[in-house]
Structure 1
């Protein structure tokens, strides 16, 4: 059973690229190694535990996901959950939007989707991708 944070509500985790974020989606949380200079909103939180290390970033796509999952496994579910709960409690919002640069509709490999599948396997809790995937466009896309 998923842990319940200080507010008594479960975390709701979402994923998205920086370009598509809207404030009504939840709290923006950076998970990339760089800060997006092009955004016109504040990203008050970042989770270093979800940022791929430099060696992993340099791997070909076929090796990337395994190495990133190994990295997540070393950090562990409990440490990641604790950090996410800390952010949700601080922000006063249980909806966290985990963000990076990749545009999935362009077929880019992405650590946020690797994290989402790993998290669901480990916890039984989904990480819902809010953007279009693999060329499928969602309502409101330009």
Structure 2
């Protein structure tokens, strides 16, 4: 299965309008001024407040988030994203935004719901969802002393 829309992910802070159409995917709105207008909200892929507040480790969080995505279903999620794209620009990628700056987290903690959504969506459709923000820092390789 392929995707009728182009998707990417980024942070609110790193997004620039040349990347595409900004789409909120967070339970809460940014409490800081954005240098671009943002009116779109992909509610079906937004994690619930209960999940956000649960403080789960990555594997448990991903399990719960994927469960919610699977219960909603790819067809409904794509329909919502297509409605958002149609309201703006079908040729412009939808850039799914959240707060987590992956490059500022330790490598083992460099994840958020947008990375889990990107993986899930790619598995469902075969279409990659690139991250447009700064990528996580890689752990340094362990080399010899000499």
Aligned 8 A contact 1:27 1:93 in 2:
no
Corresponding residue for residue 85 of structure 1: 82
TM-score by length of 1: 0.85
Aligned length: 130
Query: 1:101-137 deviations in whole A, cap 9, x for unaligned?
Result: 011112343000000000001111111100122127x
**What SS does structure 1 have at the residue aligned with 2:97?**
strand
RMSD: 1.5
Corresponding residue for residue 143 of structure 2: none
**What SS does structure 1 have at the residue aligned with 2:13?**
helix
**What SS does structure 2 have at the residue aligned with 1:29?**
strand
Show the 5 A alignment for 1:1-142. 1-3=1-3, 10-38=4-32, 39-57=34-52, 58-62=54-58, 63-94=60-91, 95-107=93-105, 108-135=110-137
Where in structure 1 are there 5+ consecutive unaligned residues? Answer: 4-9, 137-142
Query: How far, CA to CA, are the matches of 2:97 and 2:87 in structure 1?
Result: 18
Query: How far, CA to CA, are the matches of 1:37 and 1:43 in structure 2?
Result: 13
Runs of 4+ in structure 1 displaced over 3 angstroms? Answer: none
Corresponding residue for residue 139 of structure 1: none
Where in structure 2 are there 5+ consecutive unaligned residues? Answer: 139-146
TM-score by length of 2: 0.83
CA apart distance, 1:51: 0.9
CA apart distance, 1:2: 1.9
Query: How far, CA to CA, are the matches of 1:61 and 1:40 in structure 2?
Result: 33
CA apart distance, 1:65: 0.7
